[in-house]
Amino acid sequence: MHIGDGMENKKVLIVTSFFYVFLFLTLCSFLTTLWIVDSFGNVKTDQIIYTIFSSLDGTDMSVVISYLLKCILLPLIICVFIGYGHYRFRHKIQLKGKIIASFLAVISLVGSVFYADQQFGFIGYLKNANNKTDIYTAPKKQVITEKEYFGDDSIIYQDAGDAVITGDNTNNLIYIYLESYENAFMDKNNGGLKEKNCLPELTQLAQNNISFSHQEQMGGAISFAGTDWTIASMVAQSTGLPLKTDVLNTMDQYDSFMPGATTIGDILHKRGYIQELLICSQKEFAGTDKLFIQHGEFQIVDFNDLNETGRVYRSERTDWGANDQCLFRNAKEELNKLAATEQKFNLTMATLDCHMPSGYTCSECPTTYDNRYENIYACQSKQVNEFVDWCRQQSWFANTTIVIIGDHTTMATDYSDFISEDYTRTTYNCIINSKVTTANIKNRTFTAMDMFPTTLAAMGFEIKGNKLGLGTNLFSPLQTVTEKYGVEYIEQEVQKSSDYLDEHIYQFNR
């Protein structure tokens, strides 16, 4: 073999390797984008980053397997197939052709990255991460010392740890997060898009109690950056803050979950409430256990606890744990235990049956709607309503505020294609046994963050200034920050980097 032949073979090997690496990366990038859009719908960069760096504990493994098959194995198979053809015809393909193919692979990779950016906003996220916001540290006016001080709606952020919160005769709390529950599944007469209402009982329940709406018909909280997936919604409703994942900080800091934040759990714990989180999934998923244990010392009863004590029936098992039949049946038992302590209590619970990609049916689900997911929605409505009816019969009901709220709009893309782009998607909300009321429940612009002070007010607490975090008490005469400053401005600001949040709330560098 001549030296020139060896050099030529080395060039061919380098160019060929270059081609297959970039071909594989291109296919992975493009198919990953398609898979995310198909599986989760219109998600954003912060959600993707948080999910990637979160523990897989408690994850539905069918989702992981689906990704590995469609986004890793399939590109490998395609590369092997092309490699086989390349090997068969290797003597007919000149080095120049291989260089051109490699160049096209690079161009394709760049194109796939730009396509992903169009879907998820990577570039915008990085730009925001490099910009600073001052909304958390903007100067406040001198506090008015009048006897009745409702607050100042020009204030954007109020540290909940510094807020003056009082209240003696406050209620117990039952807080129910409804997985992927949005108002689009109501009928058109009530503000939804369906011909037949998929949540008839919960529509009636909202109409008979307090339900805030973005319009004259039924409605609710708008989707908002950092609040539109389950753990982010829980954070927003607990702290009045969006869940911000900054790529410039290491994710191992989540061993301490927002240690500088003051949550509703912290506030109630200090006032002697017994607190419990009941879920039929695994508590470790997305750091749920850290949020509730570190903020309020919640006792957590999750799928593993229920399963180990024989409280999950075989028919109730799902890929995530157990269905909502199991949840509501065990919730009654847990409430009896809490009430027996004769202390004030907070039972927070979260449903699962409407989870993407297609939800989970149970023996109570009807078959009278157009598709599987609509039947599950209707089943959820019926089960929640029956649970509330059971609560009404208990001795503690009159002293208990019940908040029922969708955690985010649905990601079940196969069953949400009926929702037009010009329709404002909002989550369901209903407050039962509120100790305060207001006539200003229609045509409101609010987010999940506003539920933090609103829930405390409904329980009978008084919040001086009516603001906690970025949230505003909806029972107060104040405008929310999104009403005062506009959704676009506030949403843009919360996506920016914040030294205040990093140092005082997330405490990344401690």
Domain boundaries, the chain: 3-129, 165-505
Rounded percentage of the chain residues whose pLDDT exceeds 90: 64
Count of other CB atoms within 10 angstroms of residue 16: 18
Assign 47 a pLDDT band (cuts: 50, 70, 90): confident
Q: How far apart are CA 334 and CA 280, in angstroms?
A: 13
pLDDT at 56 over 80: no
Assign 50 a pLDDT band (cuts: 50, 70, 90): low
Q: pLDDT per residue over 211-261, tens digit each? A: 999 999 999 999 999 999 999 999 999 999 999 865 444 333 467 899 999
Q: What integer pLDDT is reported at residue 11 of this predicted model? A: 64
Q: What integer pLDDT is reported at residue 4 of this predicted model? A: 47
C-alpha distances in Å from residue 27, one per residue of 78, 79, 97, 262: 9, 9, 20, 44
C-alpha 301, offset from chain centre: 20
**Following DSSP, what letter does each residue of 390-445 receive, concatenated?**
HHHTSTTGGGEEEEEEESS----GGG-TTS-TTS--EE-EEEES-SS--S--SS--
Q: How far apart are CA 306 and CA 316, in angstroms?
A: 12
Q: Give me the half-sphere count of Cα atoms (radius 13 Å) on the Cβ side of residue 213.
A: 19
pLDDT at 94 over 80: no
Q: What integer pLDDT is reported at residue 124 of this predicted model? A: 80
Q: What integer pLDDT is reported at residue 91 of this predicted model? A: 61
pLDDT at 485 over 90: yes
Assess contact for 407 and 374: CB atoms under 8 A: no
CATH superfamily for 165-505 is: Alkaline Phosphatase, subunit A (3.40.720.10)
Polymer length in residues for the chain: 510
Q: For residue 510, what are the contacts with CB-CB under 8 A and spacing of at least 6?
A: 259
pLDDT at 509 over 60: yes
Question: Tokens standing for 366?
Answer: 């009807």
The strand pairing partners of 182, in sequence order, are: 427
Question: For 423-439, what is the mean pLDDT?
Answer: 98
Q: pLDDT per residue over 139-178, tens digit each? A: 765 554 555 567 888 999 999 999 999 999 999 999 999 9
Q: pLDDT per residue over 297-349, tens digit each? A: 999 999 999 999 999 999 999 988 999 999 999 999 999 999 999 999 999 99
Q: What integer pLDDT is reported at residue 247 of this predicted model? A: 41
Query: Is the pLDDT higher at 100 or at 384?
Result: 384
Assess contact for 495 and 185: CB atoms under 8 A: no
For the whole model, what pTM was predicted?
0.87
Residue type, 48: I
